[in-house]
């Protein structure tokens, strides 16, 4: 069930974050540059407090009920879904194997040798693999991406879908779902794209995850304890607001007269510093000394002009993520609401795209 790439018909992409369930349903468009895919339905449904703790599902029943509400609200009839476990819950390793092996033979060999790569008893993990291509060390070998996650992490996601009346078609890894969505934003896999090195800062509620893509593939991931919740916490404290109201006002940008200068401005500066620090860690631990572009993802990236400030501070071309730029919308989709949530829908879109692999 734990699959990096499974060829299925169209399915729902469901991103289970710390604070919300984000659902997207796509169909194939006309194929024109602005209609590669069509958004059939979407929903963002807030999660109860502590339903997801430290990027793991703590209450599958509550998460499943939230998914069910999202499904009902958007009106989709699709029953297959793709979900993702967080990178911190997954062990990945690239290994070399004989190019002459069939998929079944590779699977058998990996099962026999998996204990070399995985520090858990094999009966406690789900394992999957994906062939990346010919190895640079030998034309007779292929590089194979091995991914393993504790069985409970996968089972909790599958259970939440079952509570909602859905079937898991794919259980992916967040980093690879993000990679998939980025290939759409960057225009596919042509030479101009694959020659570039692109950083994606996914600013979540409690953490900011930096992914770096080179030649279209994730080569680096780092999580930092900084997120949009810190902005909400400061609004709540400074203006003596209930948490839900503080979050609503932050989203609407209508907080108080001194909000921009006294609260939002310092938060933007802190975010730029966090991303800059994460990039420095990447440079110091790799052969890279620059990236060509920075993409801001996550709900925080929708804050007005935050991309402009980050670009100015880091002196790096920066844009807020919009995976829907090459898509059309079903008449039942509220396009304005969808685009307002665009930067936070990257993982969900990457998951939905799995149905077309």
For the chain, what are the domain ranges?
12-88+151-187+326-356, 224-318
Q: State the pairing for strand pair 56-57/52-53.
A: antiparallel
pLDDT number for residue 225: 93
Q: Above 90 in pLDDT, residue 132?
A: no
Architecture of domain 224-318: 2-Layer Sandwich (3.30)
Render pLDDT for 169-224 as a digit per residue (tens, 0 to 9): 999 999 999 999 998 888 754 444 556 899 999 999 989 999 999 988 888 999 99
d(CA 8, CA 163): 21
| Radius of gyration from C-alpha coordinates of the chain | 20
Average pLDDT over residues 338-353: 96
Cα(31)–Cα(180) distance, rounded to whole angstroms?
A: 18
Could you check whether 12-88+151-187+326-356 and 224-318 share the same CATH topology? Answer: yes
Q: What pLDDT sits at residue 2?
A: 52
Distance separating alpha carbons of residues 154 and 189, to the nearest angstrom = 30
Sign of the four-CA dihedral 347, 63, 208, 251: positive
The per-residue pLDDT for 41 is 96
Q: What is the pLDDT of residue 64?
A: 97
Per-residue model confidence (pLDDT) at position 280: 97
| Rounded CA separation 199/167 (Å) | 33
pLDDT in tens, 247-276: 888 888 889 999 999 999 999 999 999 999
pLDDT score at 7: 44
Parallel, antiparallel or unpaired: strands 327-329 and 37-46: parallel
Task: Quote the pLDDT of residue 192.
Answer: 47
333: closest CA among 82, 37, 80, 65?
37
Contact 71, 160 (CB under 8 A): no
Of 239, 69, 21, whose CA–CA distance to 248 is shortest? Answer: 239
Residues in the chain: 357
pLDDT at position 188, please? 54
How far is 143 from 138, CA to CA, in rounded Å?
A: 10
Q: To which CATH superfamily is domain 12-88+151-187+326-356 assigned?
A: ATPase, nucleotide binding domain (3.30.420.40)
- The verdict on pTM exceeding 0.95 is no
């Amino acid at each position: 069930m734990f699959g990096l790439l499974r060829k299925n018909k169209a399915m729902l992409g469901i991103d289970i974050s710390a604070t919300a369930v984000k659902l997207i349903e796509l169909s194939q468009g006309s194929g024109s540059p602005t209609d590669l895919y069509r958004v059939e339905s979407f929903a963002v449904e807030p999660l109860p407090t502590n339903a997801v703790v430290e990027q793991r599902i703590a209450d599958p029943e509550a998460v499943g009920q939230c998914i069910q509400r999202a499904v009902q609200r958007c009106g989709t009839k699709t029953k297959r879904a793709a979900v993702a476990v967080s990178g911190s819950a997954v062990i990945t390793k690239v290994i070399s194997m004989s190019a002459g092996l069939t998929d079944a033979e590779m699977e058998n060999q990996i099962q026999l040798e998996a204990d070399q790569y995985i520090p858990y008893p094999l009966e406690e993990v789900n394992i999957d693999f994906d062939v990346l291509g010919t190895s640079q060390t030998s034309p007779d070998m292929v590089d194979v991406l091995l991914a393993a996650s504790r069985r409970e992490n996968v089972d909790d996601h599958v259970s939440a879908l079952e509570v909602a009346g859905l079937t898991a078609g794919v259980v992916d890894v967040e980093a690879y779902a993000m990679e998939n969505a980025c290939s759409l934003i960057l225009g596919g896999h042509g030479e101009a794209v694959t020659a570039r090195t692109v950083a994606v800062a996914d600013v979540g509620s409690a953490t900011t995850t930096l992914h770096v893509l080179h030649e279209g593939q994730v080569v680096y991931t780092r999580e930092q304890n900084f997120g949009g919740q810190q902005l909400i916490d400061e609004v709540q404290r400074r203006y003596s607001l209930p948490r839900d109201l503080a979050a609503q006002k932050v989203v609407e940008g209508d907080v108080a007269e001194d909000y921009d200068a006294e609260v939002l401005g310092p938060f933007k500066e802190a975010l730029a510093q966090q991303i800059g620090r994460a990039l420095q860690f990447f440079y110091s631990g790799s052969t890279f000394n620059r990236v060509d572009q920075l993409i801001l993802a996550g709900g925080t990236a929708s804050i007005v002009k935050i991309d402009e400030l980050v670009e100015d501070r880091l002196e790096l071309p920066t844009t807020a993520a919009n995976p829907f730029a090459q898509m059309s919308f079903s008449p039942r989709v509220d396009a304005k609401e969808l685009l307002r949530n665009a930067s936070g829908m990257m993982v969900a879109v990457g998951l939905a795209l799995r149905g077309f692999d």
